[in-house]
A and B are shown apart, each in its own frame.
Chain A
Amino acid sequence: MNKWITDNLWRHVVGVLVAFFALFPLYLVIISSVNPTGSLQVSSFIPTEFSLKNYQQLFNDPTIPYLVWMKNTLLISGAVAILSVIIGASSAFAFSRLRFKGKKFGIQLLFLVQMFPAILALSAVYVIMERVYNFAPGYGLGTQPGLLLVYLGGAMGVNIWLLKGFVDSIPIELDEAAKVDGASAMQTYWQIFIPLAAPILAVVSLLSFIGTFNEFILARLFLVDMNSRTIAVGLQGFIGGQYSQNWGAFAAGSIIASIPIVIIFLSLQKYIISGLTAGSVKG
């Protein structure tokens, strides 16, 4: 018994305390979301009433276009997730498998570029997209397609880098066998590489989905119109400064919005952690 205490008790003490710390905000959001008063005020940490009023408000109140925000977010994040991997995969393949002049320099440059926080060039991106708006109003500043282009470009460095890392771990023997059999680079890419890399591509794609979902600063700068906002910008504007009034609906909204991300995250845990050790940090 004594041995158990010295060996295991402290582990449980740490575990319970940290679990309390981790769960406290989550517990609070959940009880707020079912609290019919919808206010931020904590009258009791144990809920006395239960109601789905806040959830109903989210879907019925015309001043909160929650479903539109959700749709925008899923569309933009989905498009980034798919397109960035389509574009990134071929570059990663070339970096990992093909031989060409200046490859080393290219990889070093890519490494530097993917390190650069996109947020630092914000002013420049803003001015450039303002100019694009000047001649192509549908694709410049303030538009969803414009934001999508900026996201695609911004995610490209990290995506190619991550994909390259994963691709390097796929055995090269199959490619070489195909080459010996006389396959061209294109054939190797489509018939050998893509089927082999499919699970990895899916993972990177979901990672960019999460990344885009969590993006706030560009979305805020680009999406001014209430109905073009993403969930992040929408919910932030919704409670901005009025924590006490809209808290219940906000809590409900953030729970619903978090569910898909939590599911993706938990199901990809293994890959995300190996991506993490490769040096990327989730936003």
Chain B
Amino acid sequence: MLESLFRNLPKVLKYVFLALTISILLMFTQSAFAKKEYEIGVFLLVSIIVIAITYLTTFSIPLKFFLPGILFLTAFVIGPILYTVVMSTYQYQTGNYISKDQSIERVQMLGIAPDEANTTFDVVVGKYNNQIAVLASDSINQRYLLSTSTEKIELSPSLVTVDENGVATKVNDFTPATGDEIVQLDFEISSTRFKYEGDYFIMLEGSSVGAVARQVLDYVKSADKFINLVDGTEYVDNGRGNYANTDNLEDVLQPGWRSPIWFSHYIDLVKDESVRNPLFTVFIWTVVFAFLTVLTQFALGLLVAMAMNKPIKGRRVYRSIFILPYAIPSIMSILVWGGMFNTEFGAINALLGTEIAWFQNATFARVAVILVNLWLGFPYFYLITSGAMQAIPSELSEAAAIDGASPRQVFARITLPLLLKIVTPLLIASFAFNFNNFNLIFLLTGGGPRNELDGQIAGATDILISYTYKIAFGSNVQDLGLASAISVIIFIIIASISLFGVRKSKVLDSFS
């Protein structure tokens, strides 16, 4: 009995683990559907089904190995990539963030106006006939009324108990709410429209004052438009996620919704100068930055590797020192460099005896960025090139030397070409990496300096990815749609560069 249990233990564990996983996922699926997150709900449901089929049947053995990895990749890489493409076709920014239904609801809720006399009441919130109700008092005119969302009862002053200010606190059949209940029902209380005269109603402003108002913006579902009941203005869907005044398209109702606008962002990127110009400037700097970075890092790395390509005294010590910048977490060293470039107190100015405002001047800031990146990256190329030099057969250079080539000729004609052949794919990979080197830019200069006056969010050292980040998560307008469109373009650029690199290195040939 015990023995068979042991033999079956892996199996038992497997089923327990499977059952646990599936039930946790089911729980999430259920709450996703309950909160109307259908896309995520469907993804979870499909995952559950695939998990069950894979691990309960012998449908596919390789899939048993793959599945966890595939699910994670789909959920957090492939899914977001596709979602980025989808988002790039949407008006999706501050003010156009919610769904259309939510937007209509909000516009309706906000589309009210007070009556002409700006009537307000002192109110007590409570329950009447099991409905949320307010006991409203106009102490000056000695007018009292009890109102729920469906009925309004005028009360004679003799029926109500008033406090020292003449505000009614009690009346028969009305139970005032306790503080806890008010907190609990807060949303319901603040969104209820308590009946008043005609189409007017009382809306609460805080928990003890109610104002008389009426609906001004009315939603006509059949025509999908809003009508202003007072002046008759019509607001229609402008195709960009807002209801706009038919007479003045600039006049839109807030909040809008995230609305499909197809390729508008991409068209803006090409045609709209206010979008195109900063993007173009940033793009040029991104390429220059990545290129100069790779060039300087490789040049210094190569120089060091050549210097160390002979068993000189202290080579091991040198080597350990050169590796250090690469071993230290880059976020820490970038922040340290940031302090060193400080204008007033920084070590760089102290060392040079200058008072340069490094991060306030575009050129100096760019020099600083390249310099810091050189520090961070030259050890990588030092390691790579010294490795590659070992791999170059010494027969070649020896043969050349016998044929009378000078050491310089040997280097230029033999070592360097062979070396380049080996490291080119890595140079390309490094270019692609630095093309998106967000941490360096964000932590060192924050993309700055930027001209405060031009209103653009792009700074002189902003690269595409940090610029995109500012568009998506900036402090003023957060434009996720435009940011996604730029992301898609960056991806196409990066993918082309990398595929080019792969072609060079013939990695794809080795797939079998």
Interface residues of A (CB under 8 A from B): 7-8, 10-12, 14-15, 18-19, 21-26, 28-29, 39-42, 45, 87-88, 90-91, 93-94, 98, 100, 104, 107-108, 111-113, 115-128, 131-132, 134-136, 139, 149-150, 152-154, 156-157, 160, 185-186, 189, 210, 213-214, 216-217, 221, 232, 235-236, 239, 243-244, 247, 250-251, 254, 257-258, 261-262, 265-266, 269, 273, 276-277, 279-283
Instruction: Flag if A87 contacts B80 (CB, 8 Å).
Output: no
Q: How far is the CA of A113 from the CA of B76 in the complex (A)?
A: 11
Inter-chain contact A112/B314, CB cutoff 8 Å: no
Asked if B171 is an interface residue, CB under 8 A from chain A, the answer is no
Tell me which residues across on chain A come within 8 A of B37, comparing CB atoms: 131-132, 134-135
| Complex alpha-carbon distance, A87 and B469, angstroms | 30
A-facing residues in B44-60 (Cβ within 8 Å) = 60
Choose the segment among B1-9, B265-273, B326-334 that binds chain A (4+ C-beta atoms closer than 8 Å): B326-334
Asked if B362 is at the interface (CB within 8 A of a chain A CB), the reply is no
Nearest CB to that of A41 among chain B residues? B345
Tell me what chain B mostly uses at the interface: helix, strand, loop, or mixed.
helix
Please state if A127 and B69 are interface contacts (CB–CB under 8 Å): no
Known A127-B87, A283-B439; further 5 A-B contacts with Cβ < 8 A: A87-B69, A100-B62, A124-B80, A157-B73, A235-B332
State the Cβ distance, B430 to closest chain A Cβ, in Å. 6
Q: A14: which B residues are within 8 A, CB to CB?
A: 303-304, 307
Task: Given A22-B375, A104-B511, A281-B380, decide whether A122 and B469 contact each other with a Cβ distance below 8 A.
Answer: yes
A-B pairs with the 4 shortest C-beta distances? A153-B76, A91-B69, A121-B80, A94-B65
Interface size on B, residues (CB 8 A): 102
Q: Which residues of B are found within 8 Å of A28, using beta-carbon distances?
A: 336, 340, 347
| Residues of A contacting B329 in the complex (Cβ-Cβ under 8 angstroms) | 210, 213-214, 232, 257-258, 261
B70 to chain A, nearest CB (A): 7
**B338 within 8 A of partner (CB):** yes
When C-beta atoms are compared, the residue in chain B nearest to A19 turns out to be B321
Rounded to whole Å, the gap between the CB of B169 and the closest CB of chain A is 39
Q: Which residue of B lies closest to A159 (CB)?
A: B69
Residues from 18 to 34 in B contacting A, C-beta threshold 8 Å: 28, 31-32, 34
Best-buried of A23, A127, A262 by chain B (most CB within 10 Å): A127
Report Cα–Cα, A87/B66, bound state, in Å.
9
Q: Is B204 an interface residue (CB 8 A)?
A: no
- Least CB distance, A213 to chain B, in whole angstroms: 6
**A243, B310: Cα distance in complex, Å:** 43
Contact of B324 with A by CB under 8 A? yes
Q: Any chain A CB within 8 A of the CB of B460?
A: no
Q: Are B72 and A90 in contact (CB-based, < 8 A)?
A: no
- Which residues on B sit within 8 Å (CB–CB) of A131? 37, 40
B287 within 8 Å of A by Cβ?
no
B437 and chain A: residue at smallest CB distance? A283
Complex Cα distance A127/B318, Å? 48
**Would you call B465 an interface residue if the criterion is a C-beta within 8 Å of the partner chain's C-beta atoms?**
yes
CB-defined interface of B433-465 with A at 8 Å, one 1/0 digit per residue?
100101100110000000000000000000001
Chain A residues with CB under 8 A of B433 = 281
A153 and B75 within 8 A (CB) = yes
Known contacts A118-B77, A123-B472: A90-B66 contact under CB 8 Å:
yes
B324, A26: Cβ atoms closer than 8 Å: yes
Which stretch from B125-133, B153-161, B274-282, B487-495 is at the chain A interface? B487-495
Residues of B384-431 whose CB lies within 8 A of A: 384, 387, 425-426, 429-430
Are A113 and B384 also in contact (CB < 8 A) when A19-B322, A90-B69, A243-B345 are? no
Q: B220 contacts the other chain (Cβ, under 8 Å)? A: no
Asked whether any CB of chain A lies closer than 8 Å to the CB of B13, the reply is no
Chain A at the B interface: SS class: helix
CB distance from A34 to the nearest CB of B (A): 15
Query: Given known contacts A119-B436, A269-B323, is B426 in contact with A87 (CB within 8 Å)?
Result: no
- Do A243 and B338 touch (CB < 8 A)? yes
CA distance A127 to B426 in the complex (A): 34
Contact A98 B80 (CB under 8 A): no
Chain B residues with CB below 8 A from A243, complex form: 338-339, 342, 345
Q: Which one, A10, A41, A123, A217, contacts B84 given CB within 8 A? A: A123
Chain B residues whose C-beta falls within 8 Å of the C-beta of A23 in the assembled complex: 321, 324
- Closest residue of chain B to A90, judged by CB? B65
A279 and B426: CB pair below 8 A?
A: yes
Q: Are A221 and B473 in contact (CB under 8 A)?
A: yes
Query: In the docked arrangement, what's the CA distance between A150 and B396, Å?
Result: 50
Residues in A neighbouring B64, C-beta threshold 8 A = 90, 185-186
Question: Is B335's CB within 8 Å of the partner chain A?
Answer: yes
Question: Given B68, B328, B429, B472, which contacts A122 in the complex, CB threshold below 8 Å?
Answer: B472
- What residues of B have a CB within 8 angstroms of the CB of A132 in the complex? 37, 40
Contact B495 A279 (CB under 8 A): no
Cα A124 to Cα B304 in complex, Å, equals 42
Contact present for A120 and B490 (CB under 8 Å): yes
Q: Find chain B residues with CB under 8 A from A235 CB.
A: 331-332, 335
Given A15-B307, A100-B60, A136-B31, decide whether A117 and B436 contact each other with a Cβ distance below 8 A.
Answer: yes
A277 touches B426 (CB 8 A): yes
Given A25-B375, A104-B511, A217-B438, decide whether A124 and B87 contact each other with a Cβ distance below 8 A: yes
Given contacts A8-B312, A26-B328, contact A279 B77 (CB under 8 A): no
Q: Which residues of A contact B310 (CB under 8 A)?
A: 7-8, 11
Which B residues lie within 8 Å of A120 (CB)? 81, 84, 436, 465, 468, 487, 490-491, 494
Cα distance A94–B325 in the bound complex, in angstroms: 37
In the bound assembly, the distance between CA atoms of A99 and B70 in angstroms comes to: 17
Q: Mask for B344-363, Cβ within 8 A of A = 1, else 0?
A: 11110011000000000000
- Whether the Cβ atoms of B331 and A236 lie closer than 8 Å is yes
CA distance A126 to B484 in the complex (A): 12
Complex contact A153–B77 (CB within 8 A): yes
The answer, among A266, A277, A281, for a CB contact under 8 Å with B387, is A277
A21, A123, A243, A277: residue with the most chain B Cβ atoms closer than 10 Å: A123
Are A19 and B318 closer than 8 Å at their CB atoms? yes
B262 interface residue (CB < 8 Å to A): no
Find the B residue at minimum CB distance from A153: B76
Chain A residues with CB under 8 A of B465: 117, 119-120
- A232 CB to closest chain B CB (Å) equals 5
Q: Complex: how many Å from CA A3 to CA B73?
A: 59
Return chain A residues, CB-CB under 8 Å to B80: 121, 124-125, 128
Q: Is B83's beta carbon under 8 Å from chain A?
A: yes
Partner of A279, one of B35, B342, B425, B438: B425
Q: B212 to chain A: which residues have CB within 8 Å?
A: none
Residue of A12, A26, A135 ringed by the most chain B CB atoms within 10 A: A135
Complex CA–CA separation, A282 to B297 (angstroms): 14
- The CA of A21 and the CA of B346, in the complex, are separated in Å by 16
